[in-house]
Structure 1
Amino acid sequence: MDSWTFDGDDQENEDREEGEEGDWFWGGRTATVFLIDAAPDMFEAPEQKEEEEEDTPFICSVKAAHATLMRKVISNDQDLSAVVLFNTRETSNPLDFPGIYVLQELERSGAEKILDLEKLMKISKAKFSQDYGQSTSASIHDALRVCQSVFTKCKSRLSGMSILLFTCQDDPHAGEDQRKRQARSKARDLREAGIILEVLHLGKAFDINKFYKELVIPENDDGEDEDLLSRDHRTLADPTERLSELMDRVRRLEHKQRTTGRVAFTLAPGVELSVSVYTSIRKMYKPSKVNLWKNTNEDVRRMKKEYLEETGELLMPSDYVKYQVYGGKKIKFTLDEVKNMQRIYNTGIQLLGFKPIDSIKPYHYIKPANFLYPDEKSIQGSTKLFAALLERCLARKMAAIVRLIARQGSSVSLAALVPQAEELDNRKTQVVAPGFIACHLPFADDLRNIEQQNRTRATSDQVDAAKKVLKKLHFLYSPENFDNPDLQTHWENVKALALNRKQVDPVDDFTLPNYDIMEKKAGPLITQFKNLVYPPSYDANQPIKRPAASSTSAPKKPKLDPSAIDVAAEAKAGRADKLTVDVLKRWLQGRGVQVTGRKKAQLVQDVMDEVGA
């Protein structure tokens, strides 16, 4: 079932907690087709280096598809994926084109699809040739048409469609100009239909300029996007022959970037461009538990209704008001008044000025930053103006100070737009996208003055010893090197149950310190620091004793005897709900009322019935 999306999938928790309304829109699903070449060359293992066993290009492609399905199960199980093989002897596709085999239809990631890919990952060349066969006569045009038909058959609304083509043949239609023209024409049709084609070229001697460049970058567009924000570096990256590089490249291509909002960026009166706002960092939580009906395994729907206690009348949302205490009084607001109070400025970004980048300090951090990228669909020419602003900010090392309101109802935020240049790895694969990092800045009301009392200052020898330890144990931190062990353990347990595995794969906890390496690097320095800071009798393994409580602390309230409480008088005064469950039960049992299995609300009602209140 398709889902509704509330102002994009990457909202910030802080904004949601403010009770802001926002806009709902129909999001749809993301669909990906893995188009894998099954030609004989795909089963030829690359040259082994240093006795390392390398997988064949075909096995690497299947592993990449398998890893993507595993990620989708965790990140977004509503996304759809399919696997199509071409250059096979057997034929299985809705258009009945020769040499094309639809291995998996466009469906949600499930345990059966994952297990089928695991079997394919272990298949030998002889077994594959026996079951599916191999050839080199399949047409790229026909393969792309089959992929398009797979999208067309899907009845769900799709928010994004992409084809990831895995091959090691750089010129499949050598000397066949007619087939090349057909493939180029079909690639243009896919772009017009909103289907993105990406080529994952494998093999060391692969030359994308022979054939596939014309599919990825059409002739009429070549050279128009040669600016700071061009995507050519990603699609025309060097070929890869390593599984790790292929996995990383597929992860970047198949990931759907969802915006938090699309807003206008006003540089000056009458000068505007449109940008998309992305959430760069957000905390990942375990999925919430869902109640199922044990007989049919269907989701249990909950309905909550509230009634007025005095009359039993059903309460509607319009019957509620919000209030805030001011001067000892409850100041009431209607829901419309609350919305109007939050709309100080219209949605958008307003340029206020520029500051040097080094003036933005780490202690200015108040919440995760956003990423800004131009949105050419809303305002034409936004990409060129955005690129010009980014280039000059990088050249002068300046950050733009702006007023940022990402969407309707969001709170006003001051932000510093720190420019970020594009970075490529040694294979011309984009690892850092060009754009602005919107670092949210604190207001004067957010700053606090911290007064420290009874401070003990370290001596110069202790400071020097600490510097030596820090210098030896220093390393470059990257969040990509540390997985959350709690989340990983949870998903490994779920995966073992879903795939009927008897054993759970162990999870490597990279947050644990490696004491052996630490001792090897800075063992004597740590000992020296400990001798300078702690007394000789200090033992780190001994628990620290807490000081005894001060005699001036307030005495505890004495417990009242339940038999001394006049329950009837308390009930007539309307304070029966203030009594404990034990008091209520004791009083009711003395009058012969059954109290087994009854909750406090029921006990209070029984007391009220007994006293006739």
Structure 2
Amino acid sequence: MDSDDEIEEAAKWEGSPGTIVLINALEDSSTIKVAHEATCLLIRQYLRSSSSHNIGVSIYGTDQTQTDLNSNNIIDIISMDTPTLEGYKKLRAMDIASYGKAKEYVLSEVLWHCSKIFKDYKKKLSSQTILILTKLLNPPVTTDQKRTLDRVVNLVGSYTKITIINISPDDYPIDKFYKELLIDINKSQEYTLPQAVWNPNVIQNMMYQQSHRHLAVAKLSFEIGPGFSIGVGVYSLLGKSNQSYLKTSNIDAKTNETVTRVTMRSKLTVNPGDSQKVSDDDVSGDSKELPLLDSELLFCQEYGGERIEFTKKEKEEMSNPFGPPMLKLLGFKPAIKLCKEKWFLKAGYFLYPNESVIEGSTVPFKALHKACDEMKTVAICMLCSRANSRPSIVALAPCTRPLDLEIEIGFDVIHIPFAENVREIPQLDDESDKPILQKKQKEEMNKILNSLQFHYKADMFENPKLQSQYRAIEAKALQETSLEPFVDSTIQKPEVYQVIREDVFEELFGPFGVSSIKRSCNTDKSNTIKKIKTEDINESLVQDMIINKSVDKLTVAQIKNILKERNITFSKSLNKADLCELVYENCTS
């Protein structure tokens, strides 16, 4: 499907994503209000995450024009850039419904406007996304429909993702034009008609997912065999929502200006005819300071008391001997051999076909997914996501609809440890007697667990600490007198636990809490057993304990040490009583 040249020239991951949100001003005021509120929530979400995502907001279908480009009936509320508090305030204060409506609905003009923004944007974009908030009821004028479809084909051909969000309180028959438009957006592949949504929070979540769907960690060539590769994208479905901390900066004492730091590498050259040695503190007048080239830069590492030097090229080759960034298939293993919980090293990725790397990759990707799913196997691969990153062993497990997303198929990328990562943890001996559970106790606990079960979704719980902090910061930044209400979803609901019979649970497993009965201390010191320290154990003490049959006063670890000192082999699965019998049988002098 590809050649070696195509693998070497795979697209590098660079730039930041760009998204344009379009609001249809030709709709009724209630629809415009919902779209406006959802867009404000989206900008606020980007402000909270301090994202480098470039986003712009425009209104189309108005009788006015406010844009730097040569477009008609379009108002750019927020020019495409990283979200700012000023832009959010401007968007929130705007009354979109107050603008007049255009005489004709021309959609091709809006799409041309978006393509012009992406083309003229100064920053490099890693992805381009257009989100259209509108109803799918009224099509553009007849003379503009053909131009709109052609414009969509050009945008999709340039890898611009177009998503239409159907804003409506009720379902209705979608116009025929929008069905043809969706066919061109999805490149004549299977698609589902967008469902009507009316909740601004749901619309905000949909926009946030759509704008992040193509944010791949890496776009790689997946080498399945010699001369056979497909294009894939490696995605991270889980992102860190770190708590923001106060940043400190150094200020000049005289001017109060922020002090910036610049790191420069330079070398000092000395005139060859000058025999006088130049020290670090005394620089000769004939010496010159020149910039240090990358080819002259050396790295070193101490090994055995000596400094081993490497050039920059040698360091890069040692850091990544695997080669260019790619995914390479090593073989297959039964899925039962893989345990995600046991081999968890770090958060895994999600693998999905990417046509921008190698065209036609979707069909073999689906075939591989179907084969692994039917044969209950996982693919073991070598993954190198960056040119300067270390390769790792991963397992590709077939999955569908990860985290309840509208994704048909894909592979979970599970990191597998190398031999150097596996630690041998010594077996811990539990000296305490294991409690015996009665059948009645098991049955009661099963009833409790069954009564507390619920349907889990990935977006059910929000971090209460982060949410409360965001609302406090936003209230101060926006000069709001009251905080936005927040419902803590991690707090237990008392009504859920009313199904538990407290008397039966207390009888079987209790008592609990402050009412627990503590064991009274033994006041008779004559019956108190004093623990023997390991350093106090000698041969005479061992013989006395064997004669008195009191070896069981020692700990399991101490008994094992006695057996090891006498080169007596024993199984690790033996309990304390069996170990004592071995001492009585083999350690008598």
TM-score scaled by length of structure 1: 0.67
Q: Is the 8 A contact 1:91 1:100 kept in 2?
A: yes
Query: Hey, what does 2:138 align to over in structure 1?
Result: 171
SS in 2 for 1:180: helix
Sequence identity, in percent? Answer: 23
Q: Is the 8 A contact 1:349 1:402 kept in 2?
A: yes
Unpaired runs of 5+ in structure 1? 1-22, 44-55, 227-231, 540-549, 555-613
Query: Hey, what does 1:353 align to over in structure 2?
Result: 331
SS in 2 for 1:217: helix
The CA distance in 1 between the partners of 2:173 and 2:448, in whole Å, is 50
The CA distance in 2 between the partners of 1:264 and 1:31, in whole Å, is 24
Alignment of 1:291-330 (within 5 A): 291-292=248-249, 300-303=259-262, 311=280, 318=297, 321-323=300-302, 329=305
Query: Hey, what does 2:126 align to over in structure 1?
Result: 159
Alignment of 1:464-503 (within 5 A): 466-503=445-482
The CA distance in 2 between the partners of 1:480 and 1:247, in whole Å, is 13
SS in 2 for 1:285: coil
Query: Hey, what does 1:334 align to over in structure 2?
Result: 310
The CA distance in 2 between the partners of 1:63 and 1:96, in whole Å, is 28
2:162 to 189, 194, 197: 197
Query: Hey, what does 2:149 align to over in structure 1?
Result: 184
SS in 2 for 1:139: coil
The Cα offsets for residues 195-233 of structure 1, whole Å up to 9 and x where unpaired, read as 4322112233444451123334329942xx45xxxxx34
Task: Give the letter aligned to residue 115 of structure 1.
Answer: K
Task: Give the letter aligned to residue 419 of structure 1.
Answer: P
Question: What's the CA shift for 1:132?
Answer: 1.3
SS in 1 for 2:143: helix
Task: Give the letter aligned to residue 73 of structure 1.
Answer: L
Query: Hey, what does 1:451 align to over in structure 2?
Result: 427
The Cα offsets for residues 42-94 of structure 1, whole Å up to 9 and x where unpaired, read as 22xxxxxxxxxxxx221111122111111222334433333222332334344
Which protein is bigger by CA-based radius of gyration? 2
User: Aligned pair in 2 of structure 1 residues 219, 476: CA closer, same or farther (>3 Å)?
Assistant: closer
Question: What's the CA shift for 1:273?
Answer: 2.2
User: Aligned pair in 2 of structure 1 residues 155, 265: CA closer, same or farther (>3 Å)?
Assistant: closer
Unpaired runs of 5+ in structure 2? 1-9, 267-278, 284-288, 519-530, 536-589
Task: Give the letter aligned to residue 410 of structure 2.
Answer: G
Alignment of 1:533-544 (within 5 A): 537-538=516-517
Q: Is the 8 A contact 1:84 1:147 kept in 2?
A: no
SS in 2 for 1:198: strand
Q: Kindly indicate whether residue 214 of structure 2 is the aligned counterpart of residue 214 of structure 1.
A: no
Q: Is the 8 A contact 1:320 1:334 kept in 2?
A: yes
Query: Hey, what does 2:64 align to over in structure 1?
Result: 90
Q: Is the 8 A contact 2:63 2:103 kept in 1?
A: no
Q: Is the 8 A contact 2:299 2:315 kept in 1?
A: no
Alignment of 1:6-405 (within 5 A): 27-39=14-26, 41-43=27-29, 56-94=30-68, 99-120=73-94, 131-135=98-102, 137-173=104-140, 176-203=141-168, 204-208=170-174, 210-218=176-184, 221-222=187-188, 225-226=189-190, 232-233=191-192, 236-255=193-212, 257-287=214-244, 289-292=246-249, 300-303=259-262, 311=280, 318=297, 321-323=300-302, 329=305, 332=308, 334=310, 336=312, 338-346=315-323, 347-361=325-339, 362-405=341-384
The Cα offsets for residues 476-526 of structure 1, whole Å up to 9 and x where unpaired, read as 444422222232233223222322223333544333434553354464454
Query: Hey, what does 1:436 align to over in structure 2?
Result: 411
Question: What's the CA shift for 1:258?
Answer: 2.8
Task: Give the letter aligned to residue 53 of structure 2.
Answer: D
Task: Give the letter aligned to residue 404 of structure 1.
Answer: L
The CA distance in 1 between the partners of 2:171 and 2:239, in whole Å, is 40
The Cα offsets for residues 352-388 of structure 1, whole Å up to 9 and x where unpaired, read as 3333333322222222111112233333332221111
Question: What's the CA shift for 1:423?
Answer: 7.6
User: Aligned pair in 2 of structure 1 residues 532, 465: CA closer, same or farther (>3 Å)?
Assistant: farther
The CA distance in 2 between the partners of 1:153 and 1:270, in whole Å, is 39
The CA distance in 2 between the partners of 1:162 and 1:278, in whole Å, is 17
Query: Hey, what does 1:569 align to over in structure 2?
Result: none
User: Aligned pair in 2 of structure 1 residues 158, 535: CA closer, same or farther (>3 Å)?
Assistant: closer
Query: Hey, what does 2:437 align to over in structure 1?
Result: 460
The CA distance in 2 between the partners of 1:238 and 1:389, in whole Å, is 31
Query: Hey, what does 1:590 align to over in structure 2?
Result: none
Question: What's the CA shift for 1:30?
Answer: 2.7
User: Aligned pair in 2 of structure 1 residues 155, 352: CA closer, same or farther (>3 Å)?
Assistant: closer
The Cα offsets for residues 214-264 of structure 1, whole Å up to 9 and x where unpaired, read as 334329942xx45xxxxx34xx32333343442332122122533333333
User: Aligned pair in 2 of structure 1 residues 480, 358: CA closer, same or farther (>3 Å)?
Assistant: farther
The CA distance in 2 between the partners of 1:213 and 1:451, in whole Å, is 64
